[in-house]
Every structure is written in structure tokens, then in C-alpha cells.
Amino acid sequence: MRVVILGSGRGSNAEAILAAQQAGRLGRARVVQIISDQPAAGILALGPRFGVTAAFVDPAPFKTKLEGEGEARFIAAVNACAPDLVVLAGFMRVLKPGFLGAFAGKIINLHPSLLPSFPGLDSIGQAFRRGVKVTGCTVHAVTLDVDGGPIIDQAEVRVDPADTLESLTAKVHAAEHALLPAVIARLGGR
């Protein structure tokens, strides 16, 4: 199963996927490309470290979504990889019908809450401020509804009375780093 990772930031979830691949824990899944919408994103440095091609693709003209010329460039770049699975790992753009249609049924996203609770931005902060006792992370299929696609799997994280926003964030990230590679391995048929 050919996997393309899209990300916008430092790439800690992509690194977890690539480390799992290196350790033989992704089964038949194989990351073939990393693509970022940010030219200086840390995720791009992971490519050379793990022997995977990494590239910046210009998302212009919009800042928060893939549409128009930027969407066409992303579709072409991802299509060139012939992916079986497109993984959004910290990709901070809203996908529109063109991209979703080009890779229908092949796009998954990792979200830092137990969806349907706390969709959107600052999910860990939302959960912390609400005072929930359990939060976590979700891998879901991507649809036009932001953070609203069918849930594939979730991992719970208990919120302890002594937790700070920082300690809770670290716990959720640790759960993400375990869940996402496990889901990819399962989808790839181990």
C-alpha cells in the first residue's frame, strides 16, 4: 500500500509513521512521499532522514484551504505518487471537492480529540478548559465536513487532576504517535 503524507508543521506524527515503517511495524504500507504546503516546515527534513522523498508544493492562492491553482498542483503532485492512502498528519488546510474527489475513499486524518467532541482548532485546549475526564485522538476518513468523516479508530487519554495543558498535550501527542501508525498498518493489511 503506497502512502503519501501531507503536513504543514514540524512533523511529529509523520516521524512516528516513518519510525514505525523503519521498525517494520507498518506491514505492507510504505510511505513513498511527504508533501508540505510550507516551504520551511520541519516535516520536509524527515524525508532525507528516513530515505523518503519530501517536497514543498505551492498551495497559493489561499492561506487556509486548497482550492484553485494550489489544489490543482497538490492533486498533480499526489497523483504522481499513485497513492493507495493519503494521510493528513498536521496538514492545516481545508480540503475542497476537487482534491477529495481525486482521492475519494483514500484520505484519512488524525485529530487531537475524541470526535465528535471538540472538532476544529485548539481541540486539546478546548477539552482541557471544559474539564473533561477523558480526551484522546481520532483517525477518521476525510469528507467535506471538517473533522466530520466516519471514525476509523480512537485512543483515549485520561485527564488527571494534576495535568496542565502542556502535560495533557504531551499525553495526547503520545497517543497520536501510537494510533496513527497502527491504523495505517491495519489499513494496509499488515
Instruction: Judge whether 140 counts as a catalytic residue.
Output: no
Q: How far is CA 128 from the centre of its chain?
A: 22
Task: Compute the CA torsion angle 26, 111, 107, 116 (nearest 10 deg).
Answer: 120
Give burial (CB, 10 Å; 0-12/13-18/19+) of 144.
Answer: exposed
Question: How many C-beta atoms surround the C-beta of residue 90 within 10 A?
Answer: 22
Instruction: Provide the residue count of the chain.
Output: 190
Given the residues 111, 140, 173, 177, select the one marked as catalytic.
Answer: 111
Which residues are identified as catalytic?
111
